[in-house]
Structure formats: structure tokens, C-alpha cells
A and B are shown apart, each in its own frame.
Chain A
Amino acid sequence: MKAMVYRGPYKLRVEEKDRPRIEHPQDAVVRVTLATICGSDLHLYHGMMPDTRIGHTFGHEFVGVVDEVGSAVENLKVGDRVMVPFNVYCGTCFFCARGLYSNCHNVNPNATAVGGIYGYSHTTGGYDGGQAQYVRVPFADVGPSVIPDWLSDADAVPLTDAVSTGYFGAQLADVVEGDVVVVLGAGPVGLTAARSAWFMGAGRVIVVDHLDFRLEKARTWAYAETVNFSQVDDVVLHLKRMTGGLGADAVIDCVGAEADGNLLQHVTSAKLKLQGGSPIALNWAIDAVRKGGTVSVMGAYGPMFSAVKFGDAMNKGLTLRMNQTPVKRQWPRLLEHVRAGLLTPSDLLTHTFPLDDIAEAYHVFSSKLDGCIKAAVVPGQD
């Protein structure tokens, strides 16, 4: 089969690999029909995630058709059209039994600090991902769901991570009616977080980014006010001025490890890998939220340390909430919203590439060319 493979920082190509096989009775093999590139894939692509091995296939957002099932799989059958959460999880460990699917303890031998994720290095378990024609899906009865007939692949695939994560981020921000919510980052997660904050009754939503085309999307799609941080002298001061000097009730970090806005922080983390991630957005969140407010972190950071302004967080009495999203918990409600026409996930897909052109897809997405907000990848069949 064809699959994207990592060849080192900033380099990848398509290679022929063996089709995955059933390795456990609860496995399935899924033929991928549509995948997307997530902003967090760029951390792998840029060589920031420890133990990203040569030959690894990325991709944790994908939908497809069940091609084979293991002997213990009961709920899925060959031919089912499925959406697969980015979390690999067992459903029965201490954490899964409490709904913390993204923190599963039974699927990632390489680390206890993170659960299992498809195509996201060996630090998250060493599973090849879905930017390929086929993918192994462990615990097939637990994670995947059959896609309802009324939902297209293009609307389903963002639900496997980006849209669920944005929705989760707004929930962790503890938004109540009338709250002022600042969202850092106008990528697919940030845009969805902004939309979701309105669902939860926000009184004002302000989205911050430096890419004008994404801020335009934040205004037109997420109905938010916007701030281009590269056009203001001090974005925290600017946000304080916008919020009566108090700061926002909640700030949602939808940026993560490669945040821009401070050259030193960016270069020491994203380029020199001396920090687990660039903490610019996180520090802005801590400083721009009001005392007693909540910071929700959806941005992905590496496992190494970062220079976070923790003193300010303590002195301000903040609540810091974060996690990788337990995706499947979000789906019933999100599907209601999608079916009701309140949210159209496919609106976020601006570009589509064949798998053969995936190196170009990563470059365009990573370099933010051509108004790219989210790139889809079509594996096709030989």
C-alpha cells in the first residue's frame, strides 16, 4: 500500500509499505478514504516530538471503510464506513473506565504521561497513522463509530480531532453566560472553540492570530472579534484594554508548541528544540485572563519543559484546565449540532491533495500558503 513516511525534520515522502495486519483479536484494518493534516502533525514534521522514527506514517484524523476485523470484534463488520477518534484506547483501564479515554494506560508502552495516538511518534505508542491507504485500528469496538448516512466523509473527518478538540476546549474554559472568552489561534481548533464558546453562552469572543486570512474566517465563520497580534505593540495589554482592564474570564490556547510572537521563544523551541514547546501563547493566556479566571489549553506541547510563567498563574488564582480530547465523549452532542445545521465541519477544509502530493501538502499547510486553514489528503486506491 502507499503511505506517507517521515524522512527526518521537514522531509517526508510516499513509499510502498506492507498493508497493516490484525495483530490482536480486537484489531480492525481500515481502508482510509479521507485523512487530514492536523496542526499538531507539524510538530512531528518539524522534528520536535521525541522518538519520531524514520519511516513513521503520520495521521490521526481519518475516516474510512472497515477492511478486516479481528476475531473478537463484535460491533463492526467489513464494509462499515467509520470515523476513528485520534485516541487509541482500551475502554477498560482505570482511566478509560472513568471517561478519560485520551489517558488510556493500556495502549502506550513508551510513556505513561500520554495515552495512545495514531501516527504521532513512538512517544504516543508507535502506531502508524492514517495518511496511508490502510491503517491498523486497535480496540475496534471501542473507539470507531459507524458514520451516519446523512454525514459526509468531509464533515466526519474534522470530528475525529480538530472540531471535537475545539468544542472540548470551550468546555474546559468553564464558559458561563456572559463570559468574555479569548481564543488564541485561528486554526481549525481555535475557530471551533470560538464557535463553541457561543454555544455555551459567551457574551463576547475575541480571536487572536497573526494570519489575516484566518482572522477573516474567525469573523465570518466564528462570529468573533479579532486581534492581529503582529499589529499591536503588546497583545496582552491590548486585550486588557478591550476587557475593561480586568482581562478575559477565560482564555483558550489553541496554538501550542510552535507559537509565534516572540522570536527567542520560538527559535529555542521550534528550531533548536531546547524547550518542549514555545510557551508564548500559554504565557499570553496566563497574563490576559482575569484574576480567578480559567485558562484552557488545547495546544499540543512536547514532553520537555517549557518556560511557562507559572508565578503569574499562581498569584492570579487561575484555574488551568487541559487534556488531550477524549473524542468520543464529544460526538453525540456534536453530531446533534451538525445535524441541526449549527456547525459544518467541512467548512474548515480549504485544500485537498492526493496522497502522492503529501510533501507539498505539508509544506503549503506548514508555511500557511494560499489561505490554507486545513488540508485534506485523499489516499485513493491502486
Chain B
Amino acid sequence: MPYTARKPPLPETTEQLRARIPGWGVDLDPRDRPAFPREVPDEAVIAAEPLPEQQPELRPRERSVEHLRLTPVFGTAQPLHGLSGAVKRLAYARYSEARAAHWLLLLAGDRIESAGAHLRSLATAHPDDPVTESGVLGERGAHPVRSRLGEHRADLSHTPLDPVVVGGPWVLAVGAAVLGVRAVVRRTRR
């Protein structure tokens, strides 16, 4: 097909589309859509300059260094704690959101926190259970073979990595513990 000024022909006419597809063209006018225009100034609100009442800060609340103040309302779930909390406080206080260090420290804090939580859970009546918590039991009755084989799924190439991500840290932790105990035992025997 030569490249001409004309738009390539469509497979169906407007009449055919309107007949085939419920609601075709009900939002035809681009100026009569909810997202248009992008910004819709509410002059009354702008003129009144209302400021929401400040939610009490019952414990120190971390905030992005880019914020001029603590926002009037904020989530109070899962306050920072321990070593992971120290790492995350550093990320928030020292680095703007433009810096990779900000996000990498937050991710590092996440991993520190999850490792600590797993270890602490072992000392409780409700320890982490990778079998029930990974949801793998949901495979029962969910046609695990038929859902995967005979399809054309592109994600199957990396699916074997999922157990590595889930179980890898446990294997590493057990391995480190075994090596540590062995080293202590050997040193004691000398």
C-alpha cells in the first residue's frame, strides 16, 4: 500500500459500528467528557483558601524532605520501628524523591523489616508459614495444569523464579545459620 495523505481504510463503517457495539459514540464529543478540560478550577474554593484541620501527630511522623510541612491528614498504619525504621527515616530526611538513594534505601528498609518480621514470628505462636501465606494452596481446584499448559502464556518463562523469590531468603537464612553454628562448634572444639 502506498503512503498517501489519506487515512488507511477502516474495516467497518460508522453505521456498522453503531449497530454492532452498544453505546458506540455516546461520548463522541471530546469536549463533553469528564476528564476535559484537564484542570477545572473551582474559583470558590481557590478564593476561600480553606485549610483542613491538622490531624494530631501523636508520634513523630516521617515525611518527604520535599514537603514544607506535615500534611494535614496522614496515615498512621505501621509506624517506623527498629533498624528498618532508621534506614527509612534517613531516606525521608536526607534524600529527595528525585534521588535513587531515597527509593533504594526504602526498598532496603523493606527487606530488613521483612527479614526481622520473619525471625520474630518464629518466636510466636503464629510463625510465618510460606505454604499458607504464599497462597499456593489456591492451586487446588484452580485448574493449575490446564491454566498453564496448552495456552500461549509469556509469563511461564519466569514463573520458576517465583519460588526462588519466596523461598530463597529462607534457604539463605537457614544456610547462614548452619554455617554459623558449624563455625562456632569448630571453634569450640579447638
Cβ-defined contact, B50 with A92, below 8 A: yes
Cβ-defined contact, B138 with A107, below 8 A: no
Cβ-defined contact, B152 with A228, below 8 A: yes
Cβ-defined contact, B23 with A198, below 8 A: yes
Given contacts A90-B52, A210-B153, A263-B157, contact A99 B40 (CB under 8 A): yes
Q: Residues of A contacting B148 with CB < 8 Å?
A: 369
Given contacts A110-B63, A243-B8, contact A97 B133 (CB under 8 A): no
- Whole-angstrom distance from the CB of A104 to the nearest CB of chain B? 9
- Whole-angstrom distance from the CB of B149 to the nearest CB of chain A? 12
How does the 8 Å CB contact mask read for A1-35 relative to B, with 1 for contact and 0 for none? 00000011111110000000001111000000000
- Whole-angstrom distance from the CB of B11 to the nearest CB of chain A? 6
- Whole-angstrom distance from the CB of A50 to the nearest CB of chain B? 4
Stretch binding the partner chain, chosen from B68-76, B171-179, B181-189: B68-76
- Whole-angstrom distance from the CB of B91 to the nearest CB of chain A? 8
How does the 8 Å CB contact mask read for B6-29 relative to A, with 1 for contact and 0 for none? 011011101001001111111110
Stretch binding the partner chain, chosen from A52-60, A78-86, A308-316: A52-60
User: Is B161's CB within 8 Å of the partner chain A?
Assistant: yes
Instruction: Give the total number of A-B pairs whose CB atoms are below 8 A apart.
Output: 298
User: Is A339's CB within 8 Å of the partner chain B?
Assistant: no
Cβ-defined contact, A304 with B100, below 8 A: yes
Classify the secondary structure of A's interface with B.
loop
User: Is A359's CB within 8 Å of the partner chain B?
Assistant: yes
Q: How large is the interface on A (under 10, 10 to 19, 20 to 34, 35 or more residues)?
A: 35 or more
Cβ-defined contact, B97 with A112, below 8 A: yes
Q: Residues of B contacting A256 with CB < 8 Å?
A: none
Interchain CA distance A100-B130 in the complex, whole Å: 41
- Whole-angstrom distance from the CB of B153 to the nearest CB of chain A? 6
Interchain CA distance A346-B151 in the complex, whole Å: 26
Cβ-defined contact, B153 with A8, below 8 A: no
Q: Residues of A contacting B28 with CB < 8 Å?
A: 177, 200-201
Cβ-defined contact, A203 with B27, below 8 A: no
Q: Residues of A contacting B25 with CB < 8 Å?
A: 177, 198-201
Cβ-defined contact, B78 with A53, below 8 A: yes
Cβ-defined contact, B17 with A110, below 8 A: no
How does the 8 Å CB contact mask read for A343-382 relative to B, with 1 for contact and 0 for none? 1000000000000011111111011111110000000000
Stretch binding the partner chain, chosen from A61-69, A125-133, A151-159: A125-133
User: Is B143's CB within 8 Å of the partner chain A?
Assistant: yes
Q: Residues of A contacting B103 with CB < 8 Å?
A: 50, 276, 302-304
Q: Residues of B contacting A243 with CB < 8 Å?
A: 8
- Whole-angstrom distance from the CB of B157 to the nearest CB of chain A? 6
- Whole-angstrom distance from the CB of A79 to the nearest CB of chain B? 24
- Whole-angstrom distance from the CB of B49 to the nearest CB of chain A? 8
Cβ-defined contact, B77 with A56, below 8 A: yes
User: Is B51's CB within 8 Å of the partner chain A?
Assistant: yes
- Whole-angstrom distance from the CB of B123 to the nearest CB of chain A? 15
Cβ-defined contact, B106 with A51, below 8 A: yes
Cβ-defined contact, B23 with A229, below 8 A: no
How many positions in chain B have a CB within 8 Å of any CB in the partner chain? 96
Cβ-defined contact, A263 with B151, below 8 A: no
Interchain CA distance A195-B78 in the complex, whole Å: 39
Interchain CA distance A175-B64 in the complex, whole Å: 37
How does the 8 Å CB contact mask read for A116-140 relative to B, with 1 for contact and 0 for none? 1000001101111000000000110
Interchain CA distance A106-B52 in the complex, whole Å: 8
Interchain CA distance A43-B33 in the complex, whole Å: 30
User: Is A111's CB within 8 Å of the partner chain B?
Assistant: yes
Q: Residues of B contacting A340 with CB < 8 Å?
A: 23
Cβ-defined contact, B110 with A52, below 8 A: yes
Q: Residues of A contacting B136 with CB < 8 Å?
A: 363
User: Is B59's CB within 8 Å of the partner chain A?
Assistant: no
Cβ-defined contact, B158 with A263, below 8 A: yes
- Whole-angstrom distance from the CB of A119 to the nearest CB of chain B? 9
Cβ-defined contact, B158 with A127, below 8 A: no
Cβ-defined contact, A245 with B75, below 8 A: no
Cross-interface CB contact of A203 among B10, B75, B100, B130, cutoff 8 Å: B10
Cross-interface CB contact of A359 among B14, B22, B71, B134, cutoff 8 Å: B134
- Whole-angstrom distance from the CB of A55 to the nearest CB of chain B? 5
How does the 8 Å CB contact mask read for B113-126 relative to A, with 1 for contact and 0 for none? 11001100100000
Q: List 22 A-B contacts (CB under 8 A).
A: A8-B118, A8-B128, A47-B114, A53-B77, A97-B41, A98-B39, A106-B71, A112-B64, A112-B97, A116-B73, A126-B76, A198-B23, A199-B26, A201-B27, A245-B8, A334-B34, A359-B134, A360-B138, A366-B135, A367-B139, A369-B143, A370-B147
